[in-house]
Amino acid sequence: MLADNTAASGSGKFVADIKPDSSIKSVVTLIENSLYEFSIKVTGHLTENEKALTSKLCIFLNNKVDSHPFRFHHEFPEDYSSGTSAQVDIGTISRFDQLIVEDRIYGEFDSFFSIEAKRLPTPGNKREKEYVIGHGKSCGGIERFKKGIHGSRLKHAAIVGYIQEHDTVYWHSQINNWIDELIIVDSKLWKLADKLIVRKSINHSKIVKLVSKNLRLIKNKSDIIKLTHFWINIT
């Protein structure tokens, strides 16, 4: 269950009342329990682009939702009022009119848990660090959450990594080394807590779950966004 209890609002529509983190755990558990099957379907897709893989992932996850009171939306806009809004790869939308996650309220058109996706490695010139940070523009996966480009109102989000070369041990070391380098260059934004910690390995590291606790700076105001990282080895 996403909600611990529901209550009718004044309009007669449902409002979900959530205990801290229970909604997030429900979404993360669904993703975690589904990714191994998804990995089997896309194993060997070593040149398939990020958009194609993520479109398939979104369709696959929606097929696994069953009775859960949420669904997934591919290429979710961060700002409905802007025609040039940034889009996170997958948004998670409640089936209720209103959802309370900890102390924040999300409407029926809001993503309460957003997912960005990156290929490992990211193809293209000077894009090798894009899981973490972009080159010349803010297009890095972790970077976009830290700067509020994605999920500025969220306390929890996720990044999915499609491993198309090397293995999870290689990428864990590589990504944390890149973060170490960023800490030296910009210690105001990048911290040791940004580094990824392995939480779980599934089926000989076919799927790996990691976590990071990331400082977020938006207009000189700071808070924390907690990221769950899921790596899918499709080599």
Q: Which pTM does this prediction carry?
A: 0.89
According to DSSP, the residues that pair with 8 across neighbouring strands are 14
Q: Is the dihedral of CA 125, 114, 77, 40 positive or negative?
A: positive
pLDDT mean over 79-97: 89
Name the residue ranges covered by the structural domains of the chain.
Answer: 5-233
DSSP secondary structure of 106-161: EETTSEEEEEEEEEESPPSTT-TTTTT--SSSS--HHHHHHTTSS-TT-SEEEEEE
Q: What is the pLDDT of residue 136?
A: 81
pLDDT mean over 126-147: 93
Contacts of 157 (CB under 8 A, 6+ apart): 113, 114, 115, 116, 145, 150, 151, 225, 226, 227, 228
Asked whether the predicted pLDDT for residue 9 surpasses 50, the reply is: no
Asked whether the predicted pLDDT for residue 29 surpasses 80, the reply is: yes
Q: How far apart are CA 197 and CA 229, in angstroms?
A: 9
pLDDT mean over 78-87: 84
Confidence of residue 20 (pLDDT cuts 50, 70, 90): very low
Asked whether the predicted pLDDT for residue 41 surpasses 90, the reply is: yes
Q: Strand, helix or coil at 206? A: coil
Model confidence pLDDT, tens digit, residues 50-64: 999 999 999 999 999
Q: What is the pLDDT of residue 12?
A: 38
